[in-house]
Amino acid sequence: EAAVTQSPRSKVAVTGGKVTLSCHQTNNHDYMYWYRQDTGHGLRLIHYSYVADSTEKGDIPDGYKASRPSQENFSLILELASLSQTAVYFCASSLREAGQLYFGEGSKLTVL
């Protein structure tokens, strides 16, 4: 069974603080993605990666950085968290670009 795990599952951060969301996959997939879900906006792509040590900007990259230290791990970094970044974040992996996606459980981030 394909597996994508995220941590933490829930986090409360203060405005201006640094937040790191981590994602680990055991699918042996090359592609990994970070999506953000907000009510009324559906799922929007923040960053993605198709190879270790390289990341690409998605549709809404401002205010976020990403890191792919290995094929299995992909992190989303908020250097200066803001109220507007309160959302649920999903990590996903796929075998090919825009291929069948396998999602993690989601990470609920609340910025106060």
Partner 1 sequence: GQQVQQSPASLVLQEGENAELQCNFSTSLNSMQWFYQRPGGSLVSLFYNPSGTKHSGRLTSTTVIKERRSSLHISSSQTTDSGTYLCALELYNQGKLIFGQGTKLSIKP
Residues that bind partner 1 (CB under 8 A): 40, 42-45, 88, 90, 92, 97-106, 108
Output 18 or 96, the one with its CB closest to partner 1: 96
Least Å distance, CB 105 to partner 1, is 5
What three-state secondary structure class fits 83? helix
Output 35 or 64, the one with its CB closest to partner 1: 35
Q: What is the DSSP string of 18-62?
A: -EEEEEEE-S--SEEEEEEEETTTEEEEEEEEEETTEEEE-S--T
Least Å distance, CB 94 to partner 1, is 9
Using CA atoms, how far apart are residues 90 and 103, in angstroms rounded to an integer? 7
Least Å distance, CB 83 to partner 1, is 21
